Structure 1
Amino acid sequence: MTWQEELQKLDLELASGRISADDYRQRRDEVLAGSTSAPPQPQQQAPFAAPFRWQAMPPQQQAPNPDATQVVSTGQAAPNPDATQVVNTQKAGDSERTQFVRPVSGPEPQQGGWQSGPSAPPPWVGGDGGFGPMGGSTPGWIAQGPETFDDAGKSSGKGRIFAIVGVVLVLALIGGGIWWFTTQSGGGGNGGETTAQTTTQTTSTKPKPKDDLDIVALPGSQEDQSGIKTFEDIVAQKLLTEEENAVYATGGATKARVAVSKLPNGDVIQVITVQLTDATAATTAREALAALQTKFNMKTYTGGTIPEDVSAHQIDVEGDKKGSARAHYVHKSTLVRLQVAGKDQAAISKDFDSVLAAQLEFLPSGS
């Protein structure tokens, strides 16, 4: 076996990982030491034109290095495209200089920055980044020696591990997203039925009284009674009889408020609130006014249900004479008077019950 074949065998063993880099160097030096007298082997001319290769720098631009290794890419076909052929290119007095010839197979690269000949270097040339100058005669990314095989194997193994971990993470995220959306949108233990839970917050839209004299909003067409603010204004407007005015005055009437509304059916609603001295005075006035209603030929109200602390009376409709329903009750120190008048007894009772219930809810009876 020639020394070239022995070197080629060493290259194959190193590439396959059967020997280490240190063993490779030691055995290579032994083969080269025993081949100093062997004549150089003539190279066969490649049947095809030489493919692209990076041009080596002129020898005069680099300092001579007896230990340098020159790597030249040729187009010669070899039995093994991955094999590295070593030929002796030593000169007299240079026993350590060797030349590595790497077979190159496959078509020449086309577009994308690859050009043959001493044209402009590719765009990524400009900084070695730790790999050596790509435009040099021995590019660092080629002439790294046998350590290159070890580093490449380690890098590729790490790359595969990172790729597997990344795929596992992506699958875990996708599975978690599917679980989240399915559990949130339904799909529980009810046979796949979707259960929606809705929290409803109830907000009361009913108006609240501004004070103890406030009157609930009446239905129908409102009349402007904003000018009445005291009991003296009620007396001036002659809204009550003389006897009724005397009862209010005895109770110490001060502030007052009036609301009047006409309904589409012709019924007229009137609500009067008057502030008296206190709850006792208001209760006494309510009882006195109830006695006056009987004196006015009004009878006890027979329409809807009336609370015990509310006195209610009525006058029935007779011919063209209007009928009415009237109530008095006490809210704290306020005496409330409510009346509905009209020409239809059923309509009067219906409207009276409705307005009285609303006013009682707005200003409840009691002290």
Structure 2
Amino acid sequence: MSWQEELRKLDEELASGRLSADDYRVRRDQVLSSAVAHGEDPNAAAETQQQQVSQPQETPQPEQQTPDDEGQSADSTQVIAPLDPSAERTQTVPPWQAQHAQQAQQMQQPHQAPYAQQQPPMPQAGGYQQGPASPAGGFQQPGPASPAGGFQQPGPASPAGGFQQQGYPQQQQQFPPQHQQPPQQPWNGGQPDQAPPWGGGDFPPLGPPGGPDWGASQGPEGFEDGQRKSGKGKIFAIIGAVVVLAGIAVGAYLLWGTGDDNADPRNPPSSQQQNPPASSQPVEDPLPIGEISGQPEEHSEVKTFADVPGLTYLNDQEVESYERADPGDTKFTVYRDGQGATAVILLTKVGDKGAASDEVSSLAGIQTNNGAESVTEGVPDGVLVTAFEDGAQYRAHYLSGDVLVRVEAVSENGLEAARAYFDDALEAQLNVLPVDG
């Protein structure tokens, strides 16, 4: 069977609906490609075919079967195998792309492309019968898409003029003469259609991929303008905040940083004086005084034992006894309970602890030599206590480390009142400066 007969058979199968439009184009391209490969002249055959189809077409009559065909049943099939191995590589073209491709190729000149790339031209009078132009979505083709080799076709051979398509007005189509040119690219190497499935006449054409007009503004580029505006606003806000903070810092420096220019440099402000670093523990008082009831009278003028003789509190013998113990720092405090009782606390730091221990006994002996009586009842060990009954007065001397302690109490209300206030003061002092064992 020649390639012209194969083309006519394909037209008949397409007209009868046994072959889909996609399969028709694929198999037609295969036939044309095989004809070119075998060196046949498709142009001459095309002119012959044009003369045949230009004659008045009559109603096709079914051909009579030859004796060779009588042995075959009406259901005999014919399988057309691919003539070129490259023809098996098919390209699926959606209906909407096929329509656009066919319309674009119909506008081209007949000699503008090789047979492998041309689509059927615009219908002309006297050509093959053809149905109306397919809609944008393409006609629905019954049955699955045929394979590369085609389905086996049942039924008798179709007439030379082909079957008329049912339900469509008859139109004739003919192929103009074609001028063969050397193929420049594969039969399926057409330019890809960039139009989207939803495109068409209602939408503008898309630009080339990567161009400025390609696609719509999507993704991050849709927000670029807003982000640029937002970025400028943030920059201005940051600059404004920095300016405000700088103004506050300058104002604070001018207000508090310069200080008083007229201040006496010999008496700098207390804020400029360097305070000693605070210790984690409070500094202990080397001469502590216990919590004694009454109103205290601190004599801050007494710093050392050299300040004590000026108080006229000790007699000459007592001063001499203190001086033999190498006295140093001294604290002198008086308490009054508001009921006629008075307590006196004298604390002296000594440099010679051995001599100070002897001077405790010497001070107690000075009291007894002046008319006082020694008191031992209710007195802690190591503490020497004397009492003057006429003056309602009690005195105690003891040594606590390197501190010589003297506690005295006197009351206007008699000896018992003096003893009560004395016991309270002595107990409070023993709590902070206990007697040496």
Q: Which TM-score band applies after superposition, normalised by the shorter structure?
A: 0.3 to 0.5
Larger Rg: 2
TM-score between the two structures when normalised by the length of structure 2: 0.37
TM-score between the two structures when normalised by the length of structure 1: 0.43
Identify the structure with bigger relative contact order (alpha carbons < 8 Å, sequence gap 6+): 2
